[in-house]
């Protein structure tokens, strides 16, 4: 409502002028004099007299408009001053975009504030308009001032692999990916998958959120080489074979696409361990799933905070995607993950030397400048590949001292994780439409044709490439890569 009023305020502001002009003209004034008197109505110390009902209405409404305008200007000036003070903090974050989301973040983050139409020099600039084009347009318009800090730009519809940041400080993120990451990090989901190397998982919906849940799960859930996770995606009829063929597992995991709904033929479906509904919440569907799939953990998507646990018979039904939990600065601003990605990319360019930590790189200006320049020249696909590996190293650190790995000798354990890291790397490339192939120029990859010589089983790699995978694991352990 307030947003609509702001849009029509300029139109409402001229209503007193129109009414007053008509009123004064009806009182016998020439149109020129009538218009002059109507303009003077906007000054609180008015010189024009009221001559009839129309001019009286105009006199009061003009004063109200003028007062509202003055208060609005004072409010904006005060907010700008407050924002400038907040910018002095090293962790300041200016947010632009949908007021509901921005206000949710600002209400719980002390150093976050609504940037409004005026861009200020905050350490972090976060663009959260609902439309991708609006985010990109806003950034383009204010690029020079924004790039003094770190820019985090939300992209919901565009595929990140087709984008390229124009400088080191610009980072793209997908809000649906934040939802998917938090979902797969759920402790109960991880426990169920790790305790049983075999699991049957249903994902309902394959629109923007459903696709993110599937792709993020496919990258996250690489715990054992001999695991057998069976993903059933209820995607509808619009998804073609080109989309389905992206999910090549490189182990015994399988992905099965269903054209219909889980309700269409549920008697022939397996007894799922985990059901993730990414579509708008449907309580009838929730009830059906709870009755039919009696051993499954069921997760229903809802942006609202549905506190229903006290009213449920058991705790098998959960909810995910609550906006207040998703839109936090710690979820959006992932500096540490980017730093680890930069280190991995630098190591790829200097394989013959030990991988340094980010802090070690910063202590050597020449190497640090080279690392930053190399990173800024990458497209979002290649950045994403390094970030996916950095993200996976955090999972490795969690798995390292768990069974069955803790019973292994260290060398065997490291090689086991090197094999898993290669599976992850292959999955990331396959999901982005890469295939195995040998480029005509004899190099390892052709980014235009999306072919790579290393998209093979680990056993088929050269010893040098196997050692590269092992080096990623060893370096990640050495520097303790964490969030």
DSSP of 368-416: HHHHHHHHHTS-HHHHHHHHHHHHHHHHHHHHTTSTTGGGS-HHHHHHH
Structure tokens at 360: 């070690």
- In terms of DSSP bridges, do strands 198-204 and 274-277 run parallel, antiparallel, or are they unpaired? parallel
Report pLDDT for 100.
Answer: 86
Pairwise CA distance, residues 77 & 64, whole Å: 20
Secondary structure (DSSP) of 325-374 = HHS-HHHH--HHHHHHHHHHHHHHHTTTSPPPPHHHHHTSHHHHHHHHHH
| Whether 153 contacts 134, CB under 8 Å | no
Report pLDDT for 259.
Answer: 85
Collapsing DSSP to helix, strand or coil, 177 comes out as: helix
Report pLDDT for 9.
Answer: 59
What's the Cα-to-Cα distance from 220 to each of 116, 184, 247, 395, 451, rounded to whole Å? 37, 7, 13, 8, 23
Report pLDDT for 7.
Answer: 60
The fold of 2-84 is: Helix Hairpins (1.10.287)
Q: How far apart are the first and last CA of the chain?
A: 40
Report pLDDT for 5.
Answer: 52
Report pLDDT for 190.
Answer: 93
Pairwise CA distance, residues 89 & 77, whole Å: 20
Report pLDDT for 79.
Answer: 64
Look-up of token digits 């809802």? 302
Structure tokens at 48: 């024009």
Provide the CATH number for the domain formed by 185-301 in this structure.
Answer: 3.40.50.720
Report pLDDT for 167.
Answer: 81
* DSSP bridge partners of 125: 94, 151
Pairwise CA distance, residues 287 & 283, whole Å: 6
Mean pLDDT by 10 residues, the chain (483 residues): 57 73 77 75 60 68 66 64 73 89 88 82 92 93 89 89 82 94 95 93 94 96 96 78 82 92 81 94 90 93 78 85 91 90 86 77 89 88 92 92 93 96 97 94 91 96 93 82 51
CA atoms within 13 A on the CB side of 249: 21
């Amino acid at each position: 409502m307030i947003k609509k009023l702001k849009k029509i305020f300029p139109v409402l502001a001229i209503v007193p002028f129109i009414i007053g002009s008509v009123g004064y003209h009806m009182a016998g004034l020439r149109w020129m004099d009538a218009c002059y008197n109507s303009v003077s109505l906007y000054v609180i110390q008015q010189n024009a007299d009221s001559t009839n009902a129309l001019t009286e209405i105009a006199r009061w409404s003009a004063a109200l408009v003028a007062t509202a305008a003055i208060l609005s200007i004072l409010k904006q000036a005060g907010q700008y001053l407050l924002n400038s003070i907040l910018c002095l903090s090293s962790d300041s974050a200016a947010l632009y975009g949908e007021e509901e989301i921005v206000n949710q973040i600002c209400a719980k983050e002390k150093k976050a504030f609504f940037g409004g139409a005026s861009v200020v020099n905050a350490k972090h600039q976060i663009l959260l308009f609902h439309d991708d084009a609006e985010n990109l347009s806003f950034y383009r318009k204010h690029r020079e001032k924004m790039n003094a800090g770190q820019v985090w730009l939300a992209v919901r519809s565009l595929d990140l692999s087709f984008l390229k940041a124009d400088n080191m400080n610009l980072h793209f993120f997908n809000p649906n990916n934040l939802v998917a990451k938090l979902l797969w990090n759920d402790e109960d989901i991880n426990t169920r998958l790790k305790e049983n190397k075999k699991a049957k998982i249903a994902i309902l919906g394959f629109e923007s959120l459903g696709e993110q849940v599937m792709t993020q799960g496919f990258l996250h859930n690489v715990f054992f080489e001999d695991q057998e996770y069976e993903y059933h995606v209820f995607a509808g009829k619009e998804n073609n074979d080109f989309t389905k063929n992206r999910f090549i597992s490189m182990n015994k995991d399988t992905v099965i696409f269903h054209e219909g709904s889980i309700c269409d033929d549920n008697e022939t479906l397996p007894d799922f361990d985990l059901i993730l509904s990414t579509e708008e919440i449907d309580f009838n569907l929730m009830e059906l799933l709870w009755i039919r799939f009696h051993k499954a953990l069921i997760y229903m998507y809802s942006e609202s905070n549905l506190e229903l646990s006290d009213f449920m018979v058991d705790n098998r039904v959960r909810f995910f995607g609550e906006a207040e939990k998703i839109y936090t600065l710690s979820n959006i601003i992932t500096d540490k993950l980017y730093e680890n990605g930069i280190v991995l990319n630098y190591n790829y360019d200097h394989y013959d030397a030990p991988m340094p930590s980010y802090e070690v790189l910063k202590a050597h200006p020449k190497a640090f400048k080279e690392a930053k320049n190399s990173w800024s020249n990458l497209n979002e696909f290649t950045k994403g590949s390094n970030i996916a590996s950095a993200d996976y190293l955090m999972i490795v650190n969690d798995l390292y001292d768990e069974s069955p790995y803790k019973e292994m000798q260290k060398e065997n354990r490291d090689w086991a994780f090197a094999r898993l890291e290669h599976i992850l790397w292959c999955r990331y490339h396959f999901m982005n439409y890469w295939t195995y192939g040998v480029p005509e120029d004899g190099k390892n990859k052709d980014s235009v044709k999306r072919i790579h010589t290393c998209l093979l089983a680990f056993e088929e790699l050269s010893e040098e490439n196997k050692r590269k995978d092992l080096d990623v694991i060893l370096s990640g352990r050495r520097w303790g890569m964490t969030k």
